[in-house]
Amino acid sequence: MAFNIRKIIAGSLVVLTAATAAPSLGFALDDKQKQEIGAFIKEYLVANPEILLEAQKALKAKQEQAQLEQAKAAIGDNKDAIFQSTHDVTLGNPKGDVTIVEFYDYNCGYCKRALSDMDAILEKDKNVRFVLKELPILGPDSLAAHKVSAAFRLVAPEKYGDFHRALLGGEDRATEETAIAVAGRLGVKETDLRAKMVDESNDEAVKEAYTLANTLGITGTPSYVIGNEAVFGAVGVEEIETKVTNMRSCGSTIC
């Protein structure tokens, strides 16, 4: 019965739309008929609000699929910038057979929780190449911390992994001051950092990250790129490992 009612509603909506859009084609309803149909649809939806939830769910799924398709096309067009940019830092095996690219912000709570996911993957899988792509989108503090981070990479690239873990894993908000303090604990002087903080390549790095994020449809952090797929959100170790396994098995994140 519910199925038939929904067909009636769908048909009524089509007729009502047609009557509004093209009355000259013989679909016009008078005002009384429109009111009756409108009242019927309203009454049914109020009595069966789960239909609206179903529609919302279907819309969300459609939007997510469109987002994934947009990202897939963008990955194909921007492979070098995504996977081989000279601005990025690589952890794990630099010659690994599968690359995971992470977009992150040092003040992102989900990124902080996902830090342990990265470490778990790198500890377990010695053939993964993990690319860090900083995307400071959470305000002036994030951008200021990024400038220190980028300078640190130029001064002491061999210690960047330790810097990354200390700043992202810290309880304090990431700012210029806290980032410089982390660097100091790792033996890098503030004067050396400030000399590199004016380096124009730092600006180019973040501009590239912003451009890629926009092209890929990334609106939050963390987000990942694995193979031909963009993965949005802190999805956890298991899901990422499954995609890595699939990449090795069939060359795609979904086999």
Strands 223-226 and 128-134: unpaired
**What's the pLDDT tens digit per position in 163-216?**
999 999 999 999 999 999 999 999 999 999 999 998 877 788 899 999 999 999
pLDDT at 73: 82
Helix (H) / strand (E) containing 224: strand 223-226
CATH class of this structure's domain 79-250:
alpha beta
Vertex 249: Cα angle to 69 and 215 (nearest 5): 25
**What's the pLDDT tens digit per position in 82-97?**
999 999 999 999 999 9
98: which residues sit within 8 A by CB, 6+ positions away? 127, 128, 129, 226, 227, 244, 247, 248
Q: Which residues of the chain have pLDDT under 50?
A: 1-5, 7-9, 12, 14-16, 18-19, 21-26
Counting Cα atoms < 13 Å in the Cβ hemisphere of 6 gives 10
Closest CA to 198 of 252, 138, 148: 148
Rg (CA), the chain: 25
User: What is the spatial distance between Cα 230 and Cα 19, in angstroms, rounded to a whole number?
Assistant: 43
pLDDT at 35: 87
User: What is the spatial distance between Cα 146 and Cα 84, in angstroms, rounded to a whole number?
Assistant: 20
Phi, psi (deg, nearest 5) at residue 101: -105, 130
C-beta separation of 172 from 178 below 8 A: yes
Phi, psi (deg, nearest 5) at residue 21: -85, -35
Whether omega before 140 lies within 30 degrees of 0, making that bond cis, reads no
Give residue limits of the domains in the chain.
2-77, 79-250
Axis crossing angle, helix 140-155 with helix 190-197, rounded to the nearest 10: 110
pLDDT at 1: 40
pLDDT at 27: 56
C-beta separation of 121 from 231 below 8 A: no
- C-alpha separations of 118 from 50, 110, 216, 247 in Å: 39, 12, 21, 17
